[in-house]
Structure 1
Amino acid sequence: MEQNKATLLALDSLSIYRGLLEDQVLSKLKALLHCLNSGGPAAVQLSKVVNGYNEFFFALAKSGMTSLTQYILDLLIFDENPFSFACQRGEETGCQSILDKAVSQDLANLQRVAGLNVSVFKAEIAELFSSEIDKLVIIALPEWTAGYQPLCCPEHIQDIKAHFYRAEDWVQCLDELKTFYQNYGCGVFARYYAFVWEKTTGQGYLKGIDKPDPISLEQLVDYQYERNRVIENTLQFLNGFPANNVLLYGDRGTGKSSTVKGILNRYHSQGLRMIEIPKAYLADFPLIIRQLKNRSQKFIIFVDDLVFGDNEENYTSLKAVLEGGLESKTPNILIYATSNRRHLVKEYFSERAGLQSGNHDEEVHARDSMQEKLSLADRFGINVVFSSPDQNQYLAIVKGIAEARNLNADWELLRKEALQWALWYNGRSARTAKQFVDWFEGHVSLGNQ
């Protein structure tokens, strides 16, 4: 039972990474080891051992991995603890050497757990039973692996995992682990770069997006001046210079949302993270900001298709954040919003009529109401207008997309079909141009089969 006892001791010895013991897989492994190492061989019951073993194996398989080494590496690099937080903030405290020593010990212990040999593990369990049938039951239990297979994940995550896997001694990876935390942070913000704010039973949380929209800025045609204004502001933000909240407004289908998504895809490797928040949850802004303000990354909170009805009060939450209250103003957070309207809160003729009512109180109330509604867009430091393209711009966008896809088509035919498409469907816009090229490419490809 030497390996099993050593593994249990390694888990019990974790200090800085002690939070990993709450993980479902490791907690079930620890429970199994306790079952095997308490009360002596005579107290060990086969049914409890088999059940505990399969509970552990099921939890590991349910995670999508069958390699214990790979699973533990995943826990290790994304763990949030005093060491990883200090590294991501770039702090060098007086207790840094103490933390380094404790983490080094944890790395050695985690390597011991990750290297748990399943054949030896099962053989040691089988020794506890005298019946050959019992031994066969143990030997027949499913087996995990110790191998490493690169999963579909960002390159920096693959690199740090591969570095650990190649190392004979994980303690030697301490500096690389520090660098990883410094460059990419820890927890979900190291694992994902795109998030959406969701709610379950009234509780809000950040949900990481495994596969964000892959649109790149290079795929977007025209609107270069407008796009460059947003890019320049983002670069100022990423480099620690003053930057503004941005409102991208204008006609539908002109690439406002695609511009914001493309910026994330270009700059996430420089520490940019993006959180999309539905309009219905804008009142949660203070809660979101508290989760982000002490992080090392730069965050853009993205609100898409922003417009408020007359009876909606959520715009006051957005306004408070834009104005920068005592808690709202943080240097690592900006707001980018898109809208089809310059005035984000709907206004009615009846409100303007109040200005002409002749009643002083009604006139003051109407004026205040209108000013409050019209002032929301002014709270964004930069307003970028995306207007519908004229015919020549529309055709230029069609041509640019077609050339980027290497479509070998007669331009006159393409031009004629593109104009007809705009008449039949949604009018001239960048979105309409892309939809047309999608149809044309598919139509031609199908005909060539």
Structure 2
Amino acid sequence: MSSPDPSHALLRRIADALDRLAPPAPAKTDFEAAEAFVWRADSGALAPVKRVNRVDLSLLRGIDRVRDLLVENTQRFARGLPANNALLWGARGMGKSSLVKSAHAAINRETDVAGRLKLVEIHREDIEGLPALMGLMRDAPYRFIVFCDDLSFDAGDTSYKSLKAVLEGGVEGRPSNVLFYATSNRRHLLQRDMMENERSTAINPGEAVEEKVSLSDRFGLWLGFHHCSQDD
């Protein structure tokens, strides 16, 4: 009777160790669990938000024009019509993020799309996880607004390329059931000194700066928010 091959036992122990190290596959998302979710990059999963922190759309004053434009864009998207990614930029405290959440809630209450429009928040530091997030939503029978609050990029930060790839479509193409809304206090998402540094070191300075400025251009809808008086 031959003795067991010790190499087989070693290989089994290695395989068992690798199984323990491998992260568990993310659970299938139950999109019926809520109308809003938060992307958890560490687990690669969407966490349902049972109660969204928002106000009624009618309470947002002094921003009538941008409100109407965003609501119309959101309505079109919810009904499967052409719509634009939106960048809400400008002064702090003017209701940019409140408008996104309130517009989503208002449209989601309309009878023809009730409950079919989901709001998914992704934190600024998790932008590089956008491709994985898109994969979760691509084949789901819902429409999604991916929302990033206070978005901007500092010197040395290359994660903007993940966002640009999603906005442009990349190889797979942005899913037709996904739209991207972002708020920022900057009209251009990258700092000017960052763009100037790229200009000074690039082989083709014009193309380097154009690549960074064009990130904001990937948003088809720009909505500016400006300081207003209490009377407004």
Matched position secondary structure for 1:376: helix
Q: Does 1:297 align with 2:142?
A: yes
Root-mean-square deviation (CA, aligned residues, Å) is 2.1
Cα 1:317/1:373, change in 2 over 3 Å: same
**Contact 1:286 1:328 (8 Å CA) reproduced:** no
In the TM superposition, residue 385 of structure 1 has moved relative to its aligned partner by: 0.7
In the TM superposition, residue 353 of structure 1 has moved relative to its aligned partner by: 10
Cα 1:299/1:190, change in 2 over 3 Å: same
Q: Does 1:381 align with 2:220?
A: yes
In the TM superposition, residue 341 of structure 1 has moved relative to its aligned partner by: 0.4
- List aligned pairs for 1:69-108, cutoff 5 A: none
1:218 matched residue in structure 2? 58
1:245 matched residue in structure 2? 85
For residue 368 of structure 1, the aligned residue among 191, 207, 212 is: 207
Q: Deviations over 1:171-204 (max 9, x none)?
A: xxxxxxxxxxxxxxxx62112011111134xx32
- List aligned pairs for 1:251-330, cutoff 5 A: 251-269=91-109, 270=114, 271-330=116-175
Amino acid at match of 2:67: R
Structure-1-length-normalised TM-score:
0.42
**Contact 2:94 2:226 (8 Å CA) reproduced:** yes
In the TM superposition, residue 332 of structure 1 has moved relative to its aligned partner by: 0.7
**Contact 1:347 1:373 (8 Å CA) reproduced:** no
Cα 1:350/1:281, change in 2 over 3 Å: closer
**Contact 2:155 2:194 (8 Å CA) reproduced:** no
Q: Deviations over 1:341-389 (max 9, x none)?
A: 011011218827956xxxxxx5744333321221110001111111111
**Contact 1:286 1:327 (8 Å CA) reproduced:** no
**Contact 2:202 2:208 (8 Å CA) reproduced:** no
Matched position secondary structure for 2:231: helix
In the TM superposition, residue 294 of structure 1 has moved relative to its aligned partner by: 1.2
CA distance in 2, matches of 1:226, 1:199: 31
Amino acid at match of 1:240: G
1:395 matched residue in structure 2? 230
In structure 1, list runs of 5 or more residues that go unmatched: 1-79, 81-186, 356-361, 398-449
In structure 2, list runs of 5 or more residues that go unmatched: 1-27
The structure having more radius of gyration, on CA atoms, is: 1
Structure-2-length-normalised TM-score:
0.80
Cα 1:222/1:313, change in 2 over 3 Å: same
CA distance in 1, matches of 2:157, 2:184: 16
Amino acid at match of 2:126: Y
CA distance in 2, matches of 1:353, 1:198: 32
Which structure features the higher share of strand residues? 2
Q: Deviations over 1:26-45 (max 9, x none)?
A: xxxxxxxxxxxxxxxxxxxx
Cα 1:354/1:264, change in 2 over 3 Å: closer
Q: Give the number of the structure with larger relative contact order, counting CA–CA contacts within 8 Å between residues 6 or more apart.
A: 2
Cα 1:281/1:291, change in 2 over 3 Å: same
Cα 1:395/1:372, change in 2 over 3 Å: same
CA distance in 1, matches of 2:122, 2:181: 11
Matched position secondary structure for 2:53: coil
Q: Deviations over 1:75-118 (max 9, x none)?
A: xxxxx8xxxxxxxxxxxxxxxxxxxxxxxxxxxxxxxxxxxxxx
CA distance in 1, matches of 2:160, 2:169: 14
Matched position secondary structure for 2:87: strand
Q: Does 1:197 align with 2:36?
A: no
Cα 1:366/1:219, change in 2 over 3 Å: same
In the TM superposition, residue 326 of structure 1 has moved relative to its aligned partner by: 2.7
